[in-house]
Amino acid sequence: MQNNMQTWALRGVLGSLLVVASSVATAAPQGATGTPATAKAATQNSLPTYVRTTVKTAARNFQDRQGLPVQELPVGTLLRVHERSLGKYAFYEVSAAAGMPVWVYGQYLESTDVENVLRVAGNHVNQRPRPNTDQGSTPLRTRLMATDRVQVIQRQDLNKPLEEDWVQVWGPARTRVWVEVASTAPVTDLAAAAVEFQKGMRTLPKTKAKVPAKPTPANAEKPKVAPIKVRPEATKSLRYADHLFAQAIADENATVEQLANVEQAYHRVLDMAPAGTTVRELTIQQLEKLKVHQGVANLRLELAEAKERKAERGREIAQEQAQKDLRNTVTWGRFVARGWVESEVVDGNKHYFVRWDGERKVEIACASGRYNMDMFVGYQVGLQGQTRRAATPMTLETPAVLSLIDASRIEVIAGSGTFR
């Protein structure tokens, strides 16, 4: 009954996630093709199904080079790809056919009648890269369920009872870890890879342990099941995690980082609450609700990043166009004047003018004597210099006066024997 209720609850949560994600995607800005697009969707569509390691590389507990190695993978290891991370160094989330060597606390394991095979005593049990609950030993995203059987590799301390010891086991084939994309290469022959992956799956031992059977008296009383004790700080930690959760979702724009902090708070509760306790069940329910909000927050972040990239590209295009437009102006964006040089004697003095588009634009001179202006007559030039006299419009009493440019630099653009 409890499993059925959890299944119905999970279906409801997944349904909510699909509805929320659909509504956010519908509101997304249309791309060049008219279809809403997100960075993650594009990445997922391009994921390879299988990859092989091209160098000896570490399988880590999270998508970062600072993640703890779960296992060193030799060259040529076949891996199934599930997801790809973003960031400077991209990682694939992968699984291996033989599973991964992980550590599980013995409180969540039970003996079976098969040698070196244990039964998982609860749902959502953590698999860790190290035999401790330190902050660095972040559990893998894949959790063990009550239906799992695992093969023992070693125990940390054989002098302790199983329920008080850390046990290293082979996690099931669905256990996921992270490997750097640069250390792998896609596999093209998918059919052969699927066969190889299936053959590589670990088979649990079937040899039963030889344990002498003890006769049970007919009138023996059934052992009383002691109530599972919950550490007081577990309840306090759950209240604190609930407070963080309520605080985060009070803002419609809750960030991925805020929700990640909430998730860490709930996982700390799971580390303190044994399987079968109310505190643990409530925590698992809250984590399922949290997944919905995390999905929406991730989608919101990806849409914002896509929008920013689009805006940045728009700014680049506008800048490029501005440069082109500037190039098409008369001054090319770097001259104070441009045109064909001509001369005229006025009141016994020779004056030089720049003509463009059939009319004179400015009068030019070179007070420094650096240039002989007669050498430029008949050429198209670009001028740099200072304005010594401002232009004045024509009035009833006086004619229009052109601005006078004292040329400090003259650049010849074209030459011709006639004026333009």
For the segment 28-39, what is each residue's pLDDT rounded down to a tens digit?
444 434 444 444
* Same-domain check for residues 118 and 41: yes
Residue 219 resides in a domain:
no
Residue 374 identity (one-letter amino acid): D
Q: Are 121 and 109 in contact (CB under 8 A)?
A: yes
* Same-domain check for residues 72 and 132: yes
Residues of the chain with pLDDT > 90, as a percent, come to 42
Residue 240 identity (one-letter amino acid): Y
* Same-domain check for residues 304 and 349: no
Instruction: Please state, in angstroms and rounded to a whole number, the distance separating the CA atoms of residues 286 and 124.
Output: 13
Model confidence pLDDT, tens digit, residues 2-44:
444 444 444 444 444 443 344 444 434 444 344 444 444 444 5
Model confidence pLDDT, tens digit, residues 39-75:
444 445 578 999 999 999 999 998 888 889 999 999 9
Model confidence pLDDT, tens digit, residues 384-397:
999 999 999 888 88
Q: What is the pLDDT of residue 104?
A: 95
- Bridge partners of 345? 350
Model confidence pLDDT, tens digit, residues 286-312:
998 898 888 888 888 889 889 999 999
- DSSP annotation of 299 reads H
* Same-domain check for residues 159 and 239: no
Residue 103 has pLDDT above 90, yes or no: yes
Residue 303 resides in a domain:
yes
Q: What is the pLDDT of residue 4?
A: 45
* Same-domain check for residues 74 and 199: yes
Residue 91 resides in a domain:
yes
* Same-domain check for residues 300 and 357: no
What does R_g of the chain's alpha carbons equal in angstroms? 38
Q: What is the pLDDT of residue 319?
A: 82
Residue 6 resides in a domain:
no
Task: Tell me how far apart the terminal alpha carbons of the chain are, to the nearest angstrom.
Answer: 95
| Average confidence (pLDDT) over 261-283 | 84
Residue 363 has pLDDT above 90, yes or no: yes
Residue 413: both structure tokens together: 């653009």
- pLDDT mean across residues, the chain: 82
Count of alpha carbons within 13 angstroms of residue 154, beta-carbon side: 5
* Same-domain check for residues 234 and 201: no
* Same-domain check for residues 207 and 249: no
Residue 279 resides in a domain:
yes
By CB neighbour count within 10 A (0-12 exposed, 13-18 middle, 19+ buried), where does 378 fall?
middle
Residue 136 resides in a domain:
yes
Residue 78 has pLDDT above 70, yes or no: yes
* Same-domain check for residues 80 and 123: yes
Maximum mean pLDDT: which of 77-81, 257-261, 414-418: 77-81
* Same-domain check for residues 65 and 155: yes
Which pTM was predicted? 0.43
| Average confidence (pLDDT) over 130-147 | 88
Q: What is the pLDDT of residue 206?
A: 75
Give the CATH number for residue 371. 2.40.50
- Bridge partners of 415? 379
Q: What is the pLDDT of residue 326?
A: 66
Provide φ and ψ at 114, rounded to 5°.
-105, 135
Residue 366 has pLDDT above 90, yes or no: yes
- Residue of 297, 283, 305 lying closest to 249 (CA atoms): 297
* Same-domain check for residues 45 and 193: yes
Q: How confident is the model at residue 218 (pLDDT cuts 50, 70, 90)?
A: low
| Average confidence (pLDDT) over 327-338 | 78
Q: What is the pLDDT of residue 217?
A: 62
Residue 77 identity (one-letter amino acid): T
Q: How far is CA 74 from the centre of its chain?
A: 27
Model confidence pLDDT, tens digit, residues 196-206:
998 998 888 87
Residue 376 has pLDDT above 90, yes or no: yes
Q: Please, what is the Cα angle at 363 between 360 and 368, to 5 degrees?
A: 155
| Average confidence (pLDDT) over 124-153 | 90
* Same-domain check for residues 406 and 352: yes
Structural domain tally of the chain? 3
Residue 169 resides in a domain:
yes
Q: What is the pLDDT of residue 19?
A: 39
Structural domain of 283: 230-308
Q: What is the pLDDT of residue 280?
A: 84
- DSSP annotation of 128 reads B
Count of alpha carbons within 13 angstroms of residue 404, beta-carbon side: 9
Q: What is the pLDDT of residue 34?
A: 42
Q: What is the pLDDT of residue 147?
A: 81
Handedness of CA 157, 160, 166, 169 (dihedral sign): positive
Residue 318 resides in a domain:
no
Q: Please, what is the Cα angle at 123 between 233 and 164, to 5 degrees?
A: 55
| Average confidence (pLDDT) over 173-181 | 94
